[in-house]
Amino acid sequence: MTKRKGYHHGNLQVGLVAAGLELVRKNGASALTTRACAQWNGVSSSAVFRHFRDRRALLRAVAAEGFAMLARTTAIDDPALTRQDRLLAIGGAYLRFAIEEPNLFRLMYGADALDPADPDPDPDLEAAADPLLAQTAFAAGAEGDMSDARTLLAWSIVHGLAMLTLDNQLEGLVPSDPRERAERLEAILVHALPLFADADTGERKGLN
């Protein structure tokens, strides 16, 4: 890793997260250590703990940045899109992000970061993750309700495809080239969209 200088005082926290992000994207979550992030910024290891109480706090900050990146990637601003086209656009962007950023994607949804059963949840991380599920809820016809069955179904389909791909469970079933793989997965999503076709009428058909 290239050693960086200039992250002092007020912006050291930003530099530490940037270091963690680079480490994770290149080498996975295990590469993220307080010592490596300190070295990247040209400061002592003890300086890290002025901003993060431990490695996990730093890891969560990196995960939050990952969710911010994913939110920007999946932001769909075209009001002319139909609900299903919006859901396809969000799902396709989600899948491409997972394929292009596998190490970061795993960190974001790993137990060390976003664990619903965690007795000590990170509010900043949860706040970073919520917008993605919220816009999925609107696209699925659930009017922003993140606990609605249609929201959970839509997210499960997309996230399930992403994880199956990252775990190589679709090997031989989808192309190995990343771009072709993303296109194939988006085509699979098209087949799932009729499940949400009744959303505009308000009919639930047993989905609640």
**pLDDT tens, position by position, 60-119:** 999 999 999 999 999 887 878 888 888 999 999 999 999 999 999 999 999 888 877 777
The reported pLDDT for the residue numbered 2 is 52
d(CA 189, CA 29): 29
pLDDT value, residue 10 = 60
Q: How confident is the model at residue 121 (pLDDT cuts 50, 70, 90)?
A: confident
| Backbone torsions φ then ψ of 206, nearest 5 degrees | 80, 5
Specify whether the CB–CB gap between 21 and 104 falls below 8 A. yes
Give the model's pLDDT for residue 198.
55
Q: What is the mean pLDDT of the chain?
A: 87
State mean pLDDT over 34-59.
Answer: 95
Least confident piece of the model among 5-9, 95-99, 121-125, 149-153: 5-9
From the list 162, 161, 150, the residue with the least C-alpha distance to 198 is 150
- Percent of the chain residues past pLDDT 70, beyond the cut: 89
Query: What spatial distance separates the first Cα and last Cα of the chain, rounded to whole Å?
Result: 50
Give the separation between CA 64 and CA 58, rounded to whole angstroms.
10
Q: Which of 9-13, 81-85, 144-148, 203-207 has the lowest mean pLDDT?
A: 203-207
Confidence at residue 189, expressed as pLDDT on a 0 to 100 scale: 92
Tell me: the pLDDT tens digits for 151-193? Answer: 999 999 999 999 999 999 998 899 999 899 999 999 999 998 8
Q: How far is CA 150 from CA 95, 135, 142, 163, in A?
A: 19, 12, 6, 20
Position 143 confidence tier, pLDDT thresholds 50, 70, 90: confident
At residue 174, what are phi and psi to the nearest 5 degrees? -130, 155
CB hemisphere CA count around 158 (13 angstroms): 26
25-62 residues labelled b (16+ CB within 10 A) or e (exposed): beeebeebbbebbbbbbebeeebbeeebeebebbbbbb
Instruction: Check residue 16 and give its pLDDT.
Output: 97
42 closest CA partner among 76, 75, 9, 8: 8
Of residues 39 and 131, more confidence is placed in 39
Q: What global pTM score does this model have? A: 0.86
Residue 203: pLDDT over 80: no
CA separation for the pair 23, 159 (Å, rounded): 24
Instruction: Say if residue 72 is exposed, middle or buried (CB neighbours under 10 Å; 0-12, 13-18, 19+).
Output: exposed
Q: What is the pLDDT of residue 35?
A: 96
